[in-house]
Amino acid sequence: MRIGIDVGGTNTDAALIGDGGEVLATVKSPTTEDVTGGVAAALAGLGATQVSAVMIGTTHFVNALVEAARLEPVAAVRLGLPATAALPPMVDWPERLRKVVEGASYLCHGGHEYDGTPISELDPEELRRVAADIRARGLRSVAISSVFSPVSDSSERRAAEILAAELGQEAHLSLSCEIGRVGLLARENATIVNAALRPLAERAVAAFSQALKVAGIDAPLFLSQNDGTLMDLSRATRYPVATFASGPTNSMRGAAYLSGLTDCAVVDIGGTTSDVGILVGGFPREASGEAMVAEVRTNFRIPDVLSIGIGGGSLVAEDGSVGPRSVGYRLPEEALVFGGGTLTATDLAVAAGHADIGDPSLVAGLDPARPLKLIADRVADAVDRMRTSSDPLPVVLVGGGSILIRELPGFEDVRRPDHYAVANAVGAAIAQVGGEVDRVFSGPRDTVLAEAKAEAVARAERAGAREGSVRIADVEEVPLAYLPGDATRIRVKAVGDLDLEKINA
Amino acid sequence: MHIDTGALPAYARGCAVLGSGGGGPVTIARAAALQALDDHGPVRVVQPADLDPDLLVMPVGTAGSSAVMSERVGGTDEPLYLRQKIEELYGTPVAALMASEIGGANGCLAVAWAARLGLPLVDADGMGRAFPRMDQTVMQLRGISPTPAVVCDGRGRTVVIDHVSGRWLERLVRAALEPFGGQVATSEYVLRGHQVASSTALGSVTRALRLGTALPAPLISGKVAETGSILVEGLGPDLGRLVRVEAGTEFLAVMEDGAPLAAVPDVIAMLDSRTGEAVDTEHVRYGLRVSIVRVPCDPVWHTPEGLRLAGPEAFGLFALPAPATSSAPPGGPPPAAASALREDPPAATPSPPQRPVTS
């Protein structure tokens, strides 16, 4: 048996999945201030201790960034001089976050061209001077970036060795080659965010482990990553930024699992928003370009999600329009069906007989037809925006607020699977292990493609996938315009089943 | 008039529109310009009439790959090396900078480099928009020599190109890209102050600023219904309409029922209806809500010489009926001095591959 837990901003959801893949038990409990309280309550609610693994998806780290709280100041070290001087690190950050996160920035020599030629030689003495300054400022988190590190990571690795030797064990080093893709500023930003979260990650991971111990569970713990695969605790401690979009990813993966579909649209309707994403081959379609997270431009891979302001707690205005304002987590007190004084979208669903929640007699006089039609139209419009062709597309509804929707104009196949309210926790529980390669390759297409695939499979196996279970989930080739020599950026993702014996070995 | 950090966002939006779906990553160039304006203060914008007739106006820009620009974001010293070499070659001081290409990233880089050099920026540019080739300039039409031209990087590694036509300049610069890491800073078609008024696209800076705050009414508003060959389906008041957008590295034509609503050399911009940002050709995707606007190009591009250099046929769009709205207005600039430079046979310099219009 496995346990999947989703620690959201409002609720902590958990699901117990049997060895045959069946959902054995589910539980929802409020997320607590210390986060672990909610996890402990969820584990107690499930009541199972003899489990083989626990998977947690959490918005804890992304929320820290959104709130600009619990963050560590960062020393940003960039290798690439004389290139890149036009744009120093954090140049495009919102002032509010920059004040909290910017410890110091250093432009140093090093880095590479797109074909791996060094831009300039790394200067160990220069880096030792940087280390001395970092120490003098009392900074403990360091983000290292270098030009074209997705092509050649040697500058970052060498710089990390030098800085680690100078700064000692207490310093955390985050390397951009481990985090993002081509696009220096966006990759560097993600690396700086990661560095700012390192101390929090250590505390949170320790707290999650403690919650398991208290619940009497002695099983390996994993955290969900943005792409729907798992990372172990040592990686989670070093790369908290990789959890940022795990919430929507887990919802979508859970929806796929519960509905048995691998290619569909998923609408996750919560209390305040509806998040629409597209599943391709069982994995969320990822955003193609740069992703803004808390107003910081990053380029790590996150699912392409369109959010609209409609949820179970959305306020219904006099003219029948719904949202974007919502009573959010106060729904159980404020909605009419619960004896409150606010007309919410949930009241409409109850009045229409879609759901049996609270006291239906309290909404007996309500005519819900028109506002519910408006909701369906807006959600259908959002799904339509996200699709990539006009071919028929099944739509899977999940999340507590999905009772608002019965049918969607323009979509024939609309379904809401069992356990829809905890799809996110189910998605965490069924997560696999992945390996990814994203680099610029030069050479004959077949050769470099085979090379990239083999490397992705090897990475997945190193991350804990069972040999033989790993398959190529996604291949993307982008020829680089105006570059000589057939340079092509190739991205390959491989995923496989978690090999618990390997993990426990 | 000045461009400061307050005016820059509108200017950058205007440059993105004039990019016509190409011209490189404006986001990076805008950030570089903001940083330069922060470091060195506002850039003065001057009119051609205010220039010393004998001093140099240095057109500046970058050539190469967008992917490289977004990774190896520029240095600070490229404009210093360009100016030093240009002054040495021409034996005259540079009095002002000009954007080689106002559309896309190069429009913003010109501001960044003017700030770094402490020089004014001329209210003009070489194209009035973005074009894929370096020789597709008004200076080329007016018989201004493209050389001696300078290519360099942020370390001052410099190549001087001389005694070639515009087409050959393009070939030689492309050939230099590989050792330079895929992107270079360039200055070509260097002008004397007195040549600017008659040999450039005038008013480009003020135009970009204006387009950054107000755009012409859209040709159509709708959603992208197909991306291979781009189709946009009308929504709202345009429900029931369907247009096809021809694109290479820029948007080239908007076709409805086999007739063009707009075509190169006029500017065609696609705007994301949600954000108002210009969408470049690489980022057109299914379902995107967009409006398409046509912005008239500099009238010189509608002369026979202009069309030969940068009209539909130069992009492989043959037998395109002329859009009713885009004929050259009377009183436009006189045709270019046609034979100032001997052009090479076209076979030696193939155009970028484009799809022919088949509707």
Q: What is the mean pLDDT of each run of 10 residues along chain A (505 residues)?
A: 87 90 90 80 87 90 86 97 93 91 97 89 98 97 95 93 94 91 91 95 91 90 88 90 88 94 93 89 77 82 85 89 83 90 93 91 90 94 83 92 92 94 93 84 85 92 87 78 66 86 64
Q: Which two tokens stand for residue A177?
A: 């080659």
Contact map slice: A 89-108 vs B, CB within 8 A: 91-92
What residues contact B185, with CB distance under 8 A and at least 6 apart?
B60, B61, B62, B74, B78, B79, B81, B82, B151, B152, B153, B154
Task: State the nearest Cα–Cα gap between A484 and chain B, in angstroms.
Answer: 6
Cβ(A352)–Cβ(A363) under 8 Å?
no
**Residue A484: per-residue pLDDT:** 56
The residue type of A224 is: S
Task: State the nearest Cα–Cα gap between B271 and chain A, in angstroms.
Answer: 15
CA-to-CA dists, residue A210 to A36, A59, A218, A466, angstroms: 8, 19, 11, 28
CB burial string A135-174: b at 16+ within 10 A, e below: eeeebbbbbbbbbbbbbbbbbbebbbebbeebbeeebbbb
Q: Identify the contact set of chain B against chain A, taking CB-CB distances under 8 A.
A: 27-28, 31-32, 34-36, 63-68, 70-77, 112, 153-155, 174, 177-178, 181-182, 223, 225, 249, 283, 285-289
Mean pLDDT of B201-223: 96
SS3 A266: strand
Asked if B28 and A87 come within 8 Å (Cβ–Cβ), the reply is yes
**C-alpha closest to that of B11 among B83, B115, B96, B95:** B115
What pLDDT, in 10s, does the model give residues A8-18? 877 889 999 99
Task: Give the residues across from A268 on adjacent strands.
Answer: A275, A398
The residue type of B230 is: I
CATH architecture label of B2-211: 3-Layer(aba) Sandwich (3.40)
Count chain A–chain B contacts defined by CB atoms under 8 A: 120
Mean pLDDT of B144-158: 96
Cβ(A148)–Cβ(A111) under 8 Å?
yes
Q: What distance in Å separates the CA atoms of residue A142 and residue A165, rounded to the nearest whole number?
A: 13
Residue with tokens 């996604």: A474
DSSP structure class, residue B49:
G
Q: Which residues of B touch A297 (CB under 8 A)?
A: 27
Q: Give kind and range of the element (H or E) at residue A417.
A: none
**Residue B359: per-residue pLDDT:** 33
In this complex, which of B67, B75, B287 lies closest to A182 when CB atoms are compared?
B67
Q: Which two tokens stand for residue A243?
A: 């959890």
Q: What distance in Å separates the CA atoms of residue B75 and residue B66, rounded to the nearest whole number?
A: 15
Task: State the nearest Cα–Cα gap between A463 and chain B, in angstroms.
Answer: 28
Burial of B353 (0-12, 13-18, 19+ CB in 10 A): exposed
Angle at B74 between CA B68 and CA B80, to 5 degrees: 135
Cβ(A65)–Cβ(A293) under 8 Å?
yes
Asked if B77 and A389 come within 8 Å (Cβ–Cβ), the reply is no
Task: State the nearest Cα–Cα gap between A88 and chain B, in angstroms.
Answer: 9
Q: How large is the ipTM?
A: 0.82
| B89 alpha carbon, distance to own chain's centre | 25
Asked if B70 and A88 come within 8 Å (Cβ–Cβ), the reply is no
Residue B328 has pLDDT above 50, yes or no: no
**Residue B331: per-residue pLDDT:** 40
Q: Give kind and range of the element (H or E) at residue A440.
A: strand A433-441
**Residue B336: per-residue pLDDT:** 40
**Residue B346: per-residue pLDDT:** 37
Mean pLDDT of B243-251: 95
Beta strands in chain B, from DSSP E residues, in sequence order:
2-3, 43-46, 56-64, 94-99, 121-125, 149-152, 158-161, 183-187, 191-192, 201-202, 220-226, 230-234, 242-247, 251-256, 259-263, 267-272, 278-279, 289-295
What pLDDT, in 10s, does the model give residues B81-123? 999 999 999 999 999 999 999 999 999 999 999 999 999 999 9
Q: Kindly report the CATH number that applies to the domain delimited by B220-295.
A: 2.40.390.10
For CATH 2.40.390.10, list the domain ranges present in chain B: 220-295
Contact map slice: A 275-294 vs B, CB within 8 A: 288-289
Residue with tokens 């408006």: A374
Residue with tokens 């074009």: B131
For CATH 3.40.1610.10, list the domain ranges present in chain B: 2-211
Asked if B289 and A390 come within 8 Å (Cβ–Cβ), the reply is no
Beta strand B230-234 with B43-46 is unpaired
Task: State the nearest Cα–Cα gap between A412 and chain B, in angstroms.
Answer: 19
What pLDDT, in 10s, does the model give residues B178-198? 899 999 999 999 999 999 999
| B135 alpha carbon, distance to own chain's centre | 11
A86 touches chain B (CB under 8 A): yes
Q: Which residues of B touch A113 (CB under 8 A)?
A: 72, 181-182
Cβ(A312)–Cβ(A285) under 8 Å?
no
Peptide bond into B265 cis (omega under 30): yes
Q: Which residues of B touch A117 (CB under 8 A)?
A: 181
Residue B290 has pLDDT above 60, yes or no: yes
Asked if B68 and A483 come within 8 Å (Cβ–Cβ), the reply is yes
Residue B351 has pLDDT above 50, yes or no: no
Asked if A390 and B225 come within 8 Å (Cβ–Cβ), the reply is yes
What are the residue ranges of helices labelled H in chain B?
8-18, 26-40, 66-71, 78-90, 105-117, 138-141, 166-176, 196-199, 204-211, 304-310
Q: Give kind and range of the element (H or E) at residue A447.
A: helix A445-462
What DSSP letter does each residue of A177-230 carry, written as one string? GGT--S-HHHHHHHHHHHHHHHHHHHHHHHHHHHHHHHTT--S-EEEE-TTSBE
SS3 A395: strand
What pLDDT, in 10s, does the model give residues B218-239? 999 998 988 878 999 998 899 9
**C-alpha closest to that of B250 among B217, B211, B279:** B279
Residue with tokens 């490289």: B68
Q: Which residues of A touch B284 (CB under 8 A)?
A: none
Q: What distance in Å separates the CA atoms of residue A25 and residue A3, rounded to the nearest whole number?
A: 10
- Round the average pLDDT of chain B to a whole number and report it: 89
Give me the count of residues in chain B.
Answer: 359
Q: Work out whether the CA dihedral B2, B8, B14, B17 comes out positive or negative.
A: positive
Q: Which two tokens stand for residue B226?
A: 């197909």
**Residue B357: per-residue pLDDT:** 38
Q: Which two tokens stand for residue A175?
A: 């390397």
Q: Which two tokens stand for residue B116?
A: 């770094």
Q: Rounded to two decimals, what is the model's pTM?
A: 0.85
SS3 B230: strand
Q: What distance in Å separates the CA atoms of residue A318 and residue A304, rounded to the nearest whole number?
A: 33
SS3 A104: strand
